[in-house]
Structure 1
Amino acid sequence: MPLGQGRREALRRRYLSLGLGELTAAGVFSLIAWSTLTPRWSSREATTLWWALGPLVLVLVQAGAYWLLGRSWVGRGRMPRSVAGAYRAFRVLDPLLLAVGLVMILVRGGEGPGPLVLTLCVWAFAALEFVNYYVVRLAYPLTSWTREVGRWRSPRLLQDVRQAEQTGRP
């Protein structure tokens, strides 16, 4: 059911904010790793960090693109099936990349515990971002987080993918 113009425009602004926020986060994480951590760490530790950071940046870029693309259908229609197909593929590929990343982190390790712990934290954050977008919604305002997270709601992205599958739209 189409929304009123005012509500639709409010959602479009929210989607713009969320999309740009996720893309900015991906850029900031990459920039900090590249400019600050990588030069200070050994080559082995820096490479290991990127096995964690790669999946994180990938999920953040997918999320940012989703929110920005969603501005075209929010309040008017459904996600195009072609876009839904891409996100269905990401839902399968991302866990594989996370698994490969974790194996590489554990195999390569590091020369000290600090870089390894930070790298594992980055990997865990990537895994949580994946879960938040593709499995169960985890992101809520702090004031309502404990109440809302226990409801095990489907993420908006997953809802849009499922709705797209229910239509004959190309």
Structure 2
Amino acid sequence: MNKKIEKKLFNLFTGEITATILFAIVYVLYIEAMEWSPQYLLPNSSIYSFILLEFILLQGSIYWFLKWKQVKRKDFTNLKEGYLLLYKGLRIINLILIAVGIVVCMLLFINGAVNRYLYLGIFAFAIIEHINYYHIRLSYMSYQEIKEFIRQKGFRCSKLAKELKDLKN
């Protein structure tokens, strides 16, 4: 059982960090390779949404890395209080950045900016990742997890959200 949890956490953290790195590489490659891309990818608004997404993905990968290291030590408790306080602060920072992003999104649509739909897509992805880490679990990868999701009839609280809630109590 411990090895199974350890492997799952390892896959989560390596998957998140790999996605973070690959998204950055693909973003830069598109700027370099596609003649149409600068008008969509280089405006400050597009860079803002992309950095927000990367920032949130990085938070998730570090969280899963910390949980993996903890399980390797046979420690199945919540993260240490210091880490949880850091994540509590990051959650607030994310919400501020998302609020700014909503204003940016409204301005892009009011002004008819060419990159508004790309911005909205990347920004929505960032919001979904924030919700996935800090509120409810949205990702179900394996067949077993999907069966569990159907059985429980809905979403459940994310692991980090549970730990942050326990911190309050």
SS where residue 43 of structure 2 aligns?
helix
My pick for the range that moved more, 147-156 or 52-61, is 147-156
Moved more, 90-99 or 149-158: 149-158
- What SS does the aligned partner of 2:70 have? coil
Is the counterpart of residue 50 in structure 1 residue 47 in structure 2?
yes
Q: Deviations 1:142-164 (Å, cap 9, x if unpaired)?
A: 85287268523110112233345
Equivalent position to 2:156, from 153, 159, 164: 153
Post-superposition Cα deviations, 1:82-116, rounded to whole Å, max 9, x if no partner, equal 0010111112110111121232243256642xx32
| Alpha-carbon distance between aligned partners in 2 of 1:136 and 1:104, rounded to the nearest angstrom | 26
Structure-2 residue corresponding to 1:118: 118
- Verify the 8 A CA contact 2:13 2:64 in the aligned structure 1: yes
Q: Is the 8 A contact 1:53 1:123 kept in 2?
A: yes
Tell me the TM-score normalised to structure 1 length.
Answer: 0.79
- Equivalent in the alignment of 1:162: 165
Q: 1:22 aligns with which of 16, 24, 37?
A: 16
Task: Say how many residue pairs are matched.
Answer: 158
Unaligned runs of 5+ in 2: none
Question: Is residue 98 of structure 1 aligned with residue 93 of structure 2?
Answer: no
Q: Which amino acid aligns with 2:120?
A: L
Alpha carbons of structure 1 residues 100 and 151: separation in structure 2 relative to 1, 3 Å: same
Match of 1:36 in 2: 30
- Identify if the C-alpha distance between structure 1 residues 142 and 80 changes in structure 2 by more than 3 Å, giving closer, same or farther: closer
1:136 aligns with 2:136: yes
List per-residue Cα deviations over 1:47-86 (Å, max 9, x = no partner).
2211211111111000000000112333523310000101
Question: What TM-score, normalized by structure 2, do the two folds share?
Answer: 0.79
Q: Do the aligned partners of residues 142 and 21 (structure 1) sit closer, same or farther apart at CA in structure 2, a change above 3 Å counting? A: closer
CA RMSD across the alignment: 2.6
Which one of 44, 58, 83 corresponds to residue 61 of structure 1?
Answer: 58
SS at match of 1:72: helix
Gapped regions of structure 1 (runs ≥ 5)? 1-6
